[in-house]
Structure formats: structure tokens, C-alpha cells
Structure 1
Amino acid sequence: MTSALVLNCTLKPSPADSSTHKLAGEVAAALNEQGVTLDGEIRVVDFDVRPGVEKDMGGGDQWPQIRSRILTADILVLATPTWMGHHSSVAARVLERLDAELSETDAEGRPILFGKVALVVVVGNEDGAHKITADLFQALNDVGYTIPAQAAVYWNGEAMHTTDYLELPEVPEQVASATATAARNAAHLAQLLRTNYPTG
């Protein structure tokens, strides 16, 4: 059974409302409709994730428990808000910690994240979604993830306004369409990889 994990890189600790949580949840629900089992959502800011590029930075670092769930999931949904046109500092921390996986290999000598799929979710009331998506796609691909076609879902509010995604009366049609497409493509690709390119 294909599984998915959401890493929510909002700056807001639980239980604060989060537009990132809302949009990422819609992507997770769409994956579930495609037969993907959900391993839930991790709000990274709720954990003591230390700076560094090692699997375990010690001193109470809680990244190892997040990492164990990342390694189990077939699909990673990396979700971030937009701040000043860039992904959040929490998302940057996640990418830094994923850097450790560059030196981790399976029994056949392949990067340990080969055979896994990644999706990106970006939300904010300012521009920057395409730049953020490009940055996250490149980093995730570097560490071994396969990126499906049309694997990003984003929402940017109208320029110079303060409306949050949480405040929208309904999901915009374009966002719903992108969500369905991303989920369908990710689920299909993950199943192909599990069947034809099993990790060792």
C-alpha cells in the first residue's frame, strides 16, 4: 500500500490555525482518494529540529523521529508558507537536514530516498510560489526524490491584500484542479516505483 507523509513548515506552532495546514490537508485528502494511506501531518515547528546536516545532531534533537517517518513514506508532501517571496525558515531547516541523506545508500548502493516521490505545497498572500517550487523541487530531487509531472499546488492571494487561504469561502477551482492532478500523478508514479523499482 502506498503511503504519504505531510511535512508542514508553517511558522505557527500547534494548535494555531494555518493556511499551510489547510491546503496541505486538501492535497492529503486527494491522495487518499487515490488509494494512498496517510501517515498524517508533522508540523515541524512543534519539534526541536536542530540546525545541521547530520541525521542526528544530538542534545535532544528531534529530527531523527521525523526522519524515521520520512523514510517509511512513499510520498512526501512538503508544504510551506511564503515569507518575503521565499519559503519559510522551517522549510529551509528541513532541506538542510535532508542533506544528510546524500551519503545514505541502500543495499544496492543507491541513495536511500530513490524510489520515493515528492509533492510541494506553497501558500501565501504574496508572490513567490514558482520560485519556491523550483527551489524545493531541486533540493528534493538532489537527495533522491522523483518529482511527478505538475507536482506542485499553490495559492497566492491578490497582490497588496491580506486575505489568507483560511479565509476563503471555498476552494478556488484552479487550486482544486491542481490538487487533484498532483495527487493523481503522485499516486500513479509512487505505485510504479514500488512495483518496478523497489528499494533494497
Structure 2
Amino acid sequence: MKALVLNCTLKPSPEPSNTEALAKIVVKELERLGVETHMIRVADYDVKTGIKSDLGDGDGWPIILKELLASEILIMATPTWMGTLSSMAMRVMERINGLYPARDDKGRPITYDKVAGFVVTGEEDGARHVVTEIASGLMDVGFTIAPQSYTYWNNGPGPGNSYLESDFRKEWSRETGKMVAANVVAVANALKKTPIPAWK
């Protein structure tokens, strides 16, 4: 089984990423459960704005899309900006929306039997809203949303320290991250045994 983690920080490598730090907790547990995991920092690729799967020369999305389609699990990881998902995460969602008409060899949406989980960080709150926005978009194109499949961290009300700078309630976020991994793997295994049928 494979999992793809898309880190939608605005920072390119090698800048430290708060979102990556929390996502690594999920990655470690996925790997402990026997899942082959690959994390991509989307900012390292020139993912062009649009909804098609390939926007031509220089577009970084086709490389990421190939990894996504080869994976049973997708973990969307994003910081919170002004109470919502990062612009990088929104760009990923727009490109994923381009898969809406795509079908597999059984005539099903190409993202059927793929399971999604979520990691959100931010100095201020908004994580539950971010999860709701991304989960709704992924579900719309065919992803399955596992129960209790998100972890998040924020510093409380008002501006403050980032995840890497603070020790505030990190233990909850880390333990919940482990649960995220366990739940997405459980649902992915269930779908492998009983795939979602084609509608017609």
C-alpha cells in the first residue's frame, strides 16, 4: 500500500516547515503500519494555476499526479492562512478537480477507493474549517474520507508562536496524528477487500 503526503506550505525547500513537522508524525505511523510513504513539498514544483491535468511545458503537476494515482492514501497537509487553506493547497485542489471526468477501467471515477486524511497547522485557529473545505472537495471527485482522519495544531487565539517554536499541546496533535494514520489505513484496507462499485 502507498500513501502520498502533499505538504502545501508556501515555503520551498530547504526552509523549515511547521506543517511538515506535524505531517512527519503521520508519516512515521503510516510506515510503522507497513505503508510506503512519499512526501512532496508542492512549493518545490511549478504547479500551474488551472484545472486540467497537464498544462504543458514546465507544469509540475503531472509528476505529482502520477504519484497520487499510484497511491491508495492521500494526506493533504496545509498551514492555515487568514483562517483558510494555503494558496498552494487551493491550487492542488483545483488541479485535482480536473480529475472529475476521468474514469478507471471499470467505468468508475479514477479516485474511487482512495482514502484521504488531513494535517493542518497555524499560529491561529481555522483548522476545522480548512479540513471541511478540503474534505468536501476531495469527496466530490471520488475520494473516501476516513473517520477522525485529521490532526491539527494551533497556538490558540491571536497571533503567536509557530508549531516548531512552541510546546503548546503538541502531544494531543501527535497522538491524533497516529490515529489518523491508523484510520486511513483501516479504510484503505477495507476498500481493497470491497471496492466501491461502478454506478452503471
Which TM-score applies when normalising by structure 2? 0.94
- Cα separation, 1, equivalents of 2:169 and 2:61: 33
Of all paired residues, the percent bearing the same amino acid is 42
Match in the other structure for 1:4: 3
- Alpha-carbon separation, structure 1, partners of 2:39 and 2:173: 20
Cα pair distance change 1:161/1:170, threshold 3 Å: closer
Residues 135 and 145, structure 2, Cα contact 8 Å, conserved in 1: yes
Contact 1:115 1:199 (8 Å CA) reproduced: no
Find out whether 1:195 has 2:196 as its counterpart.
no
SS at match of 1:5: strand
Contact 2:112 2:196 in 1 (8 A): no
Equivalences for 1:1-200 in 2 at 5 Å?
2-38=1-37, 40-169=38-167, 172-197=170-195
Q: Which amino acid aligns with 2:130?
A: I
One-letter code of the match for 1:126?
E
Mapped partners of 2:130, 2:115: distance in 1:
18
Distance 1:173 1:134 in 2: 23
User: How has the CA–CA distance of structure 1 residues 130 and 170 changed in structure 2, closer, same or farther, with 3 Å as cutoff?
Assistant: closer
Q: CA deviation at 1:130?
A: 0.7
1:112-149 deviations in Å (ceiling 9; x for gaps) = 00001010110001110011010011011111110110
Give the deviation of 1:169 after TM superposition. 4.5
CA contact (8 A) 2:2 2:35 kept: yes
CA contact (8 A) 1:106 1:199 kept: no
**Rounded Cα–Cα distance in structure 1 between residues aligned with 2:197 and 2:76:** 21
Instruction: Give the structure-1-normalised TM-score.
Output: 0.94
Q: How many residues align?
A: 198
Unaligned runs of 5+ in 2: none
Shift of 1:59: 3.0
Q: Which amino acid aligns with 2:22?
A: L
Give the residue type in structure 1 aligned to 2:126.
Answer: G
